[in-house]
Amino acid sequence: MSAEPITEQDIADLRKQGDLKEFLKQTRAAARAENQRRRALVLRHPDLAEQLTEAPHRFSTPAAWSGYVPPATDCTGALNTTPVRPALLALVAEAERRAAGERTAAA
C-alpha cells in the first residue's frame, strides 16, 4: 500500500464538497480490514503468534493483537524509533512469505 499522503488542501476540498465524512468512513474501514488481514496471517502460524507475547511486543496473548502496526512517523513527522514497529513488520512479512509459499505449493 503506497497511497499518496493526504494534504491539508485535500481535507479542505473534501470538507467543501461534503465528502469528508465518507472519506473518513472508508479510510477507517480499509484500516480495519488491513489489520484483520495481518492478524489472521500471523495467527495462522503458532510460532509467529507466540512471538507476539515476547519482547518487544509483550501482548498478554497472541489474540490480543489487533493487527495494528504503528506508523513509521508520528503526526509531527518524527520517526517512530520503537522496536515494536519493525518487529511487527517482520512477523507480518514472514507470515506473507509463508502464505505465498503455500499458494505456490498448492498450484
Q: Which long-range contacts (CB under 8 A, 24 or more apart) does 40-43 make?
A: 40/67, 41/92, 41/95, 41/96, 41/99, 42/67, 42/91, 42/92, 42/95
Helices (H), the chain: 8-17, 20-43, 46-51, 84-106
Residue 31 included in any domain: yes
Give the residue numbers spanning the domain of 58: 8-106
Q: What pLDDT is recorded for position 77?
A: 85
Q: What's the DSSP call for residue 5?
A: P
Query: Does pLDDT of 103 surpass 80?
Result: no
Question: Rounded to two decimals, what is the model's pTM?
Answer: 0.80
- Which tens digits make up the pLDDT trace of 6-16? 888 888 998 99
The three-point CA angle 104-45-91 to 5° equals 90
User: Would you say residue 73 lies in a domain?
Assistant: yes
Residue 46: pLDDT above 70? yes
Residue 3 within a domain:
no
Asked if residue 1 belongs to a domain, the reply is no
Note the pLDDT of residue 107. 66
